[in-house]
Structures are given as C-alpha cells and as structure tokens.
Chains A and B, each alone.
Chain A
Amino acid sequence: MNGQGEEAGHIFQIRWIPKYTFVERLLHWIHTASFIPLVATGLVLYLDTLKPLAQGDAGQWMRLVHRLIAVLFIAEPLVYGILQPRRLWLHIKEFSFEKDDLGWLKNAFSYYVRGKHDAMPPQGRFNTGEKINGMAMIVTWILFVVSGLIMWFGKGLVSAELFRWMVVVHDLTTIAALCMFIVHFYLAVAHPLMWAALVSMRFGVTSATYAAEHHAKWYYGPKRAMELYEAKKRNDSH
C-alpha cells in the first residue's frame, strides 16, 4: 500500500486528518446512547427469557424508561434539523446512492469477509455500506417515531386496526434496525480492516493512509481517485 505511515522501528507514524465534526460525533453518540436502551427495554416484551422484566411493576418501569429515552431519540435529529437544516440536508445528500455504489456492493463480500484488497471502487466520506446504514437509520427513525407516538398517545383515539398496524410496524422496524446495528457494531468494533472507524467516531480524526485507501473519493477528490483506481486496476490485471 502507498503508505504515508513511515515505519520507524516498530512504531508507525500516523498522520491524522479530521473526518467528523464535534457535532456529528455528538449526534452519533446521543443516538447510540438512546438506541441501545430503547432496544433493551423493548426486547423485554419480545424475548421469553426476559419476560420477568416485562411483568408487573418492572414492566411499568421498562415502559416508563422506554418513553423517557424515546424523548431523547426523537428530539436529537429534530433539534439538529431545526438548528442546522442545511447541514442535515447535506448529510442526506451524502447518504444518497450513486452509480458506482453498485461496484462497491458487488465487491463488498470479497472485501469485508474474505479480506481481498483489490477492486473496491473509490468511496466518499461515507462508503456505500455506511450510506445504506445512514439511509436505513433515517427510514427506521421515521417509522419508529410515527408508530411509537401513535401507540403512546393514540390508544383508544385511533382505530384498533391502525393501532394493530403500528404495533407490527414498530416490531418490524426494531428487527430491521437491530440487524443493521449488529453489523454496524461488528464493523466498528471487531472488523480488523476497519480499525480507524471507531477512532474517527471517538476523536474525529482518521489516518491519512486509511482515508486514502477507504475513502479515496473524499481524500483525493473524485477525479484523482478515479485515475488512481483505474491505474491500480491496470496494475492488478498485469
């Protein structure tokens, strides 16, 4: 790899470059800190082994905690959207798919599971997988909030049929979001190639070498990144 990291003995010199702003990281961790307890207090209704926690007074506490944290979960993107509407819009644009995302998807299995380095098309600050995660988070947030608020305040006011739908939607959304979360957590914490991801989300910086390899379109700009990608492909095929 064309490393900026210089090897001096066994010590790597890593050049850190900024990747996420303070506010981006803050929002990420508020979302994490609300999502995990929301799932935990929701799962007591779902898993038989946790049933005792759903019953009686414990269950009422679970439902109260679920509501308290839901306020944070709902408020966080709303407050951000009100204070920084332009930035929120930029995020949504950053999460939008482009043509070359298909190339990433084609090679994702080979890269992330088998550990083959070749032929990953250059990515922006968010790669295709992160974009999918981002979009999924937006969609599941909307579904969670709409179905949750109707169940919270609409019981007896909306028709039973609508309420039943909302219960099912809330359940399906949880299942989808939890599966996304598990993959997201694994990639951030355990995947050996993604070592810089958690560093970036904690400290806001990433290694220049890592950025060049994983986020070339962002690091070099789209044009230069494509040139390098084509050159690498030519080299590999020789």
Chain B
Amino acid sequence: MARKAMLIDESKCTACRGCQVACKQWNELTGWEYSKTVNTGSYENPPRLTPQTWTRIKFTEYDSRQGFRWLFLKEGCMHCGEAACVDVCPTKALKKQADGRVTVEPDLCNGCGYCSQFCPFGIPKLEVASVITGQAKASKCTFCQDRTDNGLSPSCVKTCPAQALFWGDRDKMIAAGKKRVETLKTRGFAAVNLYGEEVVGGLGRLYVLIEKPETYGLPADPQYPAMAMMWQNVIQPLGKIAIGGTVLGTFVAWLIIRRNIKMEEVE
C-alpha cells in the first residue's frame, strides 16, 4: 500500500487554529485541562500538546530582517517511518499501519509511557490518573484513523481554510512540497525547505518551512533513539538467550550430577 502523508505548508498557515478545533471535535477531545486559561505571554493557545490536544499551532516570535515576525508550526505526531514508539510499546497498542500511519489503540494501552519517553519528538502524551498507581493512557494524533481508514482526509486537513494542509500519497506530497519550496525560493524566501523527507525513516508529516527547522524549534537532524535500538534489538534477544541458557545449563548440570553422585553416600 502506498504510504500516506500530510503536507503542511507553513507559508500559508494563518494560525486560525481551525485545525485544533476540528481535531478536538472529530476525536471528541475535551478541554478540561484548560478550565483556567493562563497568560503565557504569547498568543499561542493551548501552550503545549496534551493527552487531549493532539495538534496545535506553535507560535515562534522572532526578529527577521523585515522586523518582528511570527512563525506558525502545526505540531503533532510525525508518523515516523522508523517509529521508536511502536518498537518500544510492550502492548502493541501502538501500531504501524500498512500505509505508514502510527495509530494508538487505547484499549490495549497499559499506561507504561515508554512511547512518550522514546519518541524523538516527544509527541505521545500520557493521561496520568495517578502517579502512585501508574494508571495512565497514552494518546496522540492518529491521522484520524477512523476517517483515513475510510478514504477521507484527517479532519484538520478537511477544515483548513487557508489550504495549508494536504493529505495523500506520500510521493505526491513530497513532489508537491518540493514544488512549493521552489516557488517560494523564487519569491525571495531564501531559507525555505521541505522538512521530513528523509529523517527517522521519512516522516508521515511533511513541512514546508520558510525558515530553518531550528528556528521553529524542530530538531534539524532527529534520530531514532540509540537506546531503543540497543534495548529492543540487542539486550532483549540476548537476555532471552541468557535466561534460556541458564535454565538449560542448570538442567544439564543436574542430569550430570545425578549420574555422578550416589545419594547413599551424601551426608
């Protein structure tokens, strides 16, 4: 199946935050955690991704050559090609779908939170009922699994009035993104770039950025965490061999000693 992707053209985003509303509405996410809105010194709202906020527009204020400027970034799960969250999830609640979407099945999640700690972008969030008991559920953007499974686009793409969001086959999204980058270059955006084509197995969320990724607060070169690699591919298989080997070794040792020792002589 062709890999799907979302293309986000940040040069067009007006930070209307329709995507945030559409996401909350379609996925039936509450706003309980913001019953008290706090002034954080920025127009951005809410201030961060949470278990109930799977996408949001991050505002970056910076001083460009043309003076003060806002950069808008539609944050959310990157749906990595090499998804560390899926690899470390011990319950298979996180799944890599055939078309590249990384989905979460809340019924399977036991709240261990490894996904939130191994994600190179820090995206999955835990809704923690109690730190003491460890009761929790992980959640994140699933590209509106129930919509995309049925051939629709994610709700944020559907709603975007600035037409900054696109959904489709990843090849086509990359081609469109590159074309947009070329167009913007001719219009004087010197630093414009397409983010996510190659990193971490290729992202399912591609950005046309008008400044360097670091200016938006995105890692320039995000990495699949080395610890996840070592843990899943080295330590766990070797551990199984070590434990199995010890069981087998003691059993063989028992067979040998049983032959060599006459119990009548043991005192």
Contact = CB atoms under 8 A, between A and B. Distances in A.
B235 A171 contact: yes
Contacts of B228: 164
B236 interface: yes
B230 A55 contact: no
A127 interface: no
Interface string A160-179: 11011101100110110011
Interface in A194-209: 195, 207, 209
B132 A67 contact: yes
B118 A160 contact: yes
A191 B236 contact: no
Given A55-B108, A172-B235, A182 B267 contact: no
Interface in B140-164: none
A190 interface: yes
Contact of A56 (B91, B131, B134): B91
A224 interface: no
Contacts, number: 137
Interface string B213-235: 00000000000010110110001
B90 A168 contact: no
B122 interface: yes
Interface stretch (B2-10, B191-199, B245-253): B245-253
B132 to A, nearest CB: 7
Contacts of A179: 242-243, 246
A18 interface: no
Interface in B67-121: 88, 90-93, 107-114, 116-119
Contact of B243 (A56, A153, A178, A210): A178
8 contacts: A51-B91, A55-B91, A63-B110, A113-B257, A115-B256, A155-B117, A160-B117, A171-B236
Interface of B: 88, 90-93, 107-114, 116-119, 122, 126, 131-135, 225, 227-228, 230-231, 235-236, 238-240, 242-243, 246-247, 250, 253-254, 256-258, 260-261, 263, 265-267
Given A63-B110, A164-B228, A193-B257, 8 more contacts: A54-B90, A59-B111, A113-B257, A164-B231, A167-B117, A167-B231, A171-B236, A175-B242
